Structure 1
């Protein structure tokens, strides 16, 4: 997964916040009837279900660090984790920018905790998209956790997949797909699961077209795609539940099974068409 050395990076699409955030209103809450450790895990893996984070608008936001001096070219993206995020975000938004009605969304890099339009968040939440302020939030330590706790292969493309999944939620927000979930936020056939699998599919669609955005040297290799599929499989509801509670409870699913996540990313990648990602119509 090599960036084109001379590709111009737009670091303004990524905001780095220093320090930790306050926790207004009692901190972060996860809704949808999930309890105990499943609530923590559901929040941790690839973002809280949109609309499940509660809280007020952001207040007392921390000063930001300017990445524009560090992240100028694709060569920088190959050398730095932060600049890699910039490159991935640039590529994702270059692709989706060709879709009618798309509006860019910033990614916020933070450490330990921050305030968001959806309330306060800390690193245990994992990457997530906040529809209220239309930002993706990411603590880079999550990628180490993905390997150490969930046993994934890791690697640059696993990271890109996570980010592309969150931008899939931004697309869903802009297109109204997010509204189709309603209160159906838990269960094997729930709107929540369909929304998450669609975001996986959108991540695959971007991966298919990533080299066309001008940020990558060549199409992704089989090894790159394996990193994404490995990450997707590791964080299926069934595998997480088996690991944390010793049994699988489909009625508590929020993101889909390992096989479903792999299948829908693959669907997006093989077809390269967002139209093939309508999990609400096609079924899962």
Structure 2
């Protein structure tokens, strides 16, 4: 169990796409997923989103999560879990972001299957979860959690699933803070702006989870149960599994730090823990020296 069974879902902020865009992704199956995820996994560099043409018969329709009502639903249904995760993130960041001097607004989480049209271009599920600054939406195909298990060997339990959403929400906070406009994410390397952006989003996810047990629904009911050490280990396992070094070792048989865009497993875990232990104020990854990153 992660959510309080009695917590009520607001019904806000999450849309489910009724469109399956017919994007041409070529051959390769899960191999293609792994290749694309090397550069796109949980990131903001969306240059690789453009696929083939869309299916003109696709229906560009979205619906709310009408079948999701309570925390009990979130504990058994992955889409409902995203819905209540959204409520917890919103409760935390609506207060935390202004306290950090950030002009805050809420992002939309768009659930899709197969492919989707976004403000950043047409995307397939192969790119993994991502945040699009152009339309300020988070895009997620929940089948990605299965990919975490099968392709990357992560446990991908409920808290690691929350971490994934929290990371993308962290990118929205960065966008509202002007971080994207003030950094150069076109360069790679272990101390690059691209890596600093990504590990800061990990830190922001950790900061939210450190306070998540205090977030409440509209009636003041606690949204999440207290987080256990085992659940934190699950989230750290996901952060480790998607470190640049782990992915490179798995797919290329060698590690090349100069091409990193998201940070090593150790970096991603460490910054997650920094946020979890010390809060969002500890997440200024741009202020630390290269040797401390």
Superposed pair shares fold, TM > 0.5 = yes
Checking the alignment, whether the CA contact within 8 Å between 2:19 and 2:59 is kept in structure 1 is no
Instruction: Provide closer, same or farther for how the CA distance between residues 105 and 121 of structure 1 changes in structure 2, counting only shifts above 3 A.
Output: same
Structure 1: 5+ residue runs without aligned partners?
A: 28-35
User: What's the CA shift for 1:64?
Assistant: 1.6
Match of 1:208 among 207, 210, 214: 210
Instruction: Provide closer, same or farther for how the CA distance between residues 77 and 38 of structure 1 changes in structure 2, counting only shifts above 3 A.
Output: closer
Alignment correspondent of 1:78: 75
**Alignment pair present for 1:145 and 2:162:** no
**1:227-242 mapped onto 2 (5 Å cutoff):** 227-242=234-249
Alignment correspondent of 1:14: 14
Alignment correspondent of 2:41: 45
**Alignment pair present for 1:222 and 2:229:** yes
| Partner Cα distance (1:74, 1:183) in 2 | 38
Write out per-residue CA displacement over residues 126-176 of structure 1, whole angstroms, 9 at most, x where no aligned residue: 000000000000001100010011111111001000000000000000001
Match of 2:128 among 126, 129, 141: 126
| Partner Cα distance (2:47, 2:202) in 1 | 19
Checking the alignment, whether the CA contact within 8 Å between 2:33 and 2:126 is kept in structure 1 is no
User: What's the CA shift for 1:54?
Assistant: 6.4
Write out per-residue CA displacement over residues 212-231 of structure 1, whole angstroms, 9 at most, x where no aligned residue: 11243432000110011000
Checking the alignment, whether the CA contact within 8 Å between 1:186 and 1:192 is kept in structure 2 is yes
Alignment correspondent of 1:33: none
Match of 1:65 among 58, 63, 66: 63
| Partner Cα distance (2:3, 2:138) in 1 | 22
Alignment correspondent of 1:165: 167
Alignment correspondent of 2:93: 96
| Partner Cα distance (1:129, 1:199) in 2 | 11
Alignment correspondent of 2:253: 246
Alignment correspondent of 1:191: 193
Report the more deviating stretch, 58-67 or 256-265: 58-67
User: What's the CA shift for 1:92?
Assistant: 0.7
Match of 2:275 among 256, 259, 268: 268
User: What's the CA shift for 1:86?
Assistant: 0.2
Checking the alignment, whether the CA contact within 8 Å between 2:18 and 2:59 is kept in structure 1 is no
Alignment correspondent of 2:84: 87
User: What's the CA shift for 1:89?
Assistant: 1.1
**What is the SS of the residue equivalent to 2:8?**
coil
Checking the alignment, whether the CA contact within 8 Å between 1:157 and 1:227 is kept in structure 2 is yes
**What is the SS of the residue equivalent to 2:12?**
helix
How many residue pairs get aligned? The number is: 271
Normalising by structure 1, we get a TM-score of 0.88
| Partner Cα distance (2:224, 2:12) in 1 | 22
**What is the SS of the residue equivalent to 1:107?**
strand
Checking the alignment, whether the CA contact within 8 Å between 1:37 and 1:244 is kept in structure 2 is no
Instruction: Provide closer, same or farther for how the CA distance between residues 144 and 183 of structure 1 changes in structure 2, counting only shifts above 3 A.
Output: closer
| Partner Cα distance (2:86, 2:33) in 1 | 31
User: What's the CA shift for 1:251?
Assistant: 1.2
Instruction: Provide closer, same or farther for how the CA distance between residues 128 and 178 of structure 1 changes in structure 2, counting only shifts above 3 A.
Output: same
**What is the SS of the residue equivalent to 1:15?**
strand
